[in-house]
């Protein structure tokens, strides 16, 4: 069959007939326009044109095969006939490209905030806006960090700390250190190879990776990038259509995932202003505007665009459904109260992640580390401490944070954004260096605290008396404070 030409596709550049090219193939998306979770406007911007670059970061490669009826797959396009549009590089973008040429050498990054500092300057605005944003006033997001400063060590002296063993197990899988790469969406907003960058770095370091439902890469690409020996878990956003949920959970199990983390703190994704302000560029369309644009609210940035399938009716009564469809250990991710941890035990869950979703959901929700002390106390009082594995995430930037969490009873700690920043700035070597820095810090901390093995990290090694006080000033973390990107008011238009 003769290939389509750029002119053939270009003729369909209206709302009434909208064709787009993705990876050298043309698709008729006219009927799909009103259904597109990100709104029709962004597709119409590319009506009659090549949309690959915009499409890639936010859609796994199998999206069109899965969701667009085959009759709308129009076939291959002779890409030599497609006009390549001159990219308009505005002053901000030109400055960003210049900064990329002068990035600091990787070995100049000595801590996780250094990666954030570099990423902030070299990432595109949309990616940075999406990754760095927190909910509302970002109070919880910042508290996630400062909460760790309120815990002080009570180090032991004169312990033989020549040998240090940092290895542990999480959900029965061995790992080199008690932290994991937690699930974060849209990896290709930071790096063209997306989540597979994290997979490869995790393999090199014996670190567990949690695969996100909302990855830019397809699930299979991420599993295929693994080395066959490493452990991967699967994070689930529960689809309103339980058949889809069942299919993806069972597929994850079949492909070897060793844990199912059901996100329970996001019946609706939070309101994140940095993401909203830097939303996917939706102006400049050459398509006629006006009329009933579309019904989906596009003003909410990437988060809303990708999350409309999440089931807000998910509740405790659904738990047996998951236990029936999989044998993977099930962990509830995003638990925020002590009594919900007890309920999780009663429902036969294998674990909980005490988490506020990186401060991206409910602002002024408690931090995982603060909750941890309370949770472990209650579990111990009920003799349930061995019935469930407790994890935390949020705000971790130093291995001392991980040590503190483990002392308080966490089995492990999730780290998300820092690895995204290391990935976005420096790819696999960046993530490997970030992990290695944490390992070096962890080993040093264990020596200095007087602990040889993970079992030696016990509650008596930390002083948490200040943890529950929210109003006292804490020691300033100049690194985190220096890279924190404050919320802003709207800019006036240029005269
Ligand atoms: C987030 O943006 O936080 C998601 O989990 C998708």
Token pair of 12 as six digits:
């369909």
Distance from residue 237's CA to the centre of ligand 1 (Å):
10
With a cut of 90, say whether residue 40 has pLDDT above it. Answer: no
Question: Looking at ligand 1, which atom is closest to the CA of residue 357?
Answer: 3
* CA-nearest residue, atom 2 of ligand 1: 303
Q: pTM of the prediction?
A: 0.90
Q: Given pLDDT bands bounded at 50, 70 and 90, which one contains residue 83?
A: confident
Residues with catalytic function: 237, 265, 357
Atom of ligand 1 nearest to the CA of 303: 2
Burial 381-393 (b: 16+ CB within 10 A, else e): eeeebeebbbbbb
Ligand 1 atom nearest the C-alpha of 270 is 3
ipTM surpasses cut 0.85: yes
Q: Ligand 1, atom 4: nearest CA belongs to which residue?
A: 185
| pLDDT interval class at 192 (50, 70, 90) | very high
Give 481-490's long-range contacts (Cβ < 8 A, gap of 24+). 482/113, 482/117, 483/113, 483/116, 483/117, 483/120, 484/142, 485/120, 485/128, 485/132, 485/274, 487/137, 487/138, 487/273, 487/274, 488/277
Q: What is the mean pLDDT of the chain?
A: 91
Give the model confidence (pLDDT) of 245-293 as tens digits: 999 999 999 999 999 999 999 999 999 999 888 765 443 222 223 334 4
Question: Does the structure show a pLDDT above 60 at 299?
Answer: no
Q: What is the mean pLDDT of residues 465-475?
A: 77
- pLDDT tens for each residue of 400-421: 999 999 999 999 999 999 999 9
Report CA-CA distances (Å) from 487 to 274, 342, 477. Answer: 7, 37, 19
> Ligand 1 mean position to 90 CA, how many Å?
29
Q: Give pLDDT, residue 1.
A: 72
Q: Which residue has the tokens 């997979």?
A: 199
From 131, 133, 185, mutation site for ligand 1 pocket: most ligand atoms within 8 A of C-beta: 185
Q: Separation of 184 CA from ligand 1 center, angstroms? A: 6
Of the ranges 138-152, 221-235, 300-314, 322-336, which one carries the lowest mean pLDDT score? 300-314
**Which of 266, 280, 417 is the pocket-test mutation for ligand 1 (most atoms within 8 Å of CB)?**
266
Protein residues whose CB sits closer than 6 Å to any atom of ligand 1: 185, 214, 269, 303, 307, 357, 360
What pLDDT is recorded for position 285? 28
210 sits in which H/E element? strand 208-211
Pocket test for ligand 1, best of 275, 357, 363 (most atoms within 8 A of CB): 357
CA 293 to chain centre: 31
Nearest atom, ligand 1, residue 183 CA: 5
């Amino acid at each position: 069959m003769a290939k389509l030409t750029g002119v053939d596709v270009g003729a369909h550049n209206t709302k009434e007939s909208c064709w787009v090219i993705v990876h050298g193939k043309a698709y008729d998306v006219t009927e799909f326009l009103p259904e597109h979770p990100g709104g029709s406007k962004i597709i119409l911007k590319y009506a009659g044109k090549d949309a690959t670059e915009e499409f890639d970061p936010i859609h796994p490669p199998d999206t069109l095969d899965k969701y667009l009826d085959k009759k709308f797959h129009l076939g291959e396009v002779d890409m030599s006939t497609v006009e390549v549009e001159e990219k308009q590089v505005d002053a901000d973008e030109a400055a960003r490209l210049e900064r990329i040429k002068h990035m600091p050498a990787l070995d100049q990054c000595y801590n996780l905030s250094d990666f954030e500092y570099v990423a902030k300057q070299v990432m595109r605005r949309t990616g940075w806006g999406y990754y760095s944003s927190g909910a509302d006033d970002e109070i919880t997001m910042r508290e996630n960090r400062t909460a760790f400063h309120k815990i002080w060590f009570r180090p032991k002296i004169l312990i033989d700390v020549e040998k240090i063993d940092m290895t542990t197990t999480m959900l029965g899988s061995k790992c080199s250190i008690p932290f994991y790469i937690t699930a974060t969406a849209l990896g290709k907003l930071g790096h063209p190879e997306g989540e597979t960058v994290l997979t490869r770095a995790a393999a090199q370091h014996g670190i567990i990776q949690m695969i996100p439902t909302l990855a830019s890469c397809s699930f299979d690409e991420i599993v295929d990038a693994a080395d066959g020996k490493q452990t991967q878990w699967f994070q689930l956003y529960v689809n309103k259509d339980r058949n889809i949920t069942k299919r993806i959970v069972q597929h994850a199990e079949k492909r070897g995932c060793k844990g199912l983390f059901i996100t329970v703190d996001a019946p609706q994704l939070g309101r994140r202003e940095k993401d909203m302000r830097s939303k996917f560029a939706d102006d400049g369309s050459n398509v006629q505007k006006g009329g009933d644009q579309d019904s989906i609210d596009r003003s909410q940035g990437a988060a809303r665009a990708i999350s409309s399938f999440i089931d807000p009716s998910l509740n405790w009564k659904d738990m047996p459904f998951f236990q029936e469809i999989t044998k993977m250990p099930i962990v509830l991710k995003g638990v925020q109260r002590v009594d919900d941890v007890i309920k999780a035990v009663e429902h036969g869950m294998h674990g909980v992640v005490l988490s506020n979703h990186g401060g991206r959901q409910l602002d002024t929700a408690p931090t995982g580390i603060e909750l941890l002390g309370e949770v472990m106390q209650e579990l111990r009082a009920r003799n349930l401490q061995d019935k469930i594995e407790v994890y935390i995430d949020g705000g971790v930037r130093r291995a001392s944070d991980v040590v503190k969490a483990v002392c308080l009873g966490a089995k492990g700690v999730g780290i998300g954004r820092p690895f995204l920043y290391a990935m976005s700035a420096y790819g696999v070597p960046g993530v490997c260096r970030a992990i290695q820095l944490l390992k070096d810090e962890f080993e040093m901390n264990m020596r200095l605290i007087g602990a040889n093995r993970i079992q030696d990290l016990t509650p008596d090694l930390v002083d948490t008396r200040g943890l529950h006080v929210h109003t006292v000033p804490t020691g300033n973390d100049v690194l985190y404070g220096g890279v924190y990107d404050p919320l802003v008011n709207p800019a006036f238009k240029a005269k």
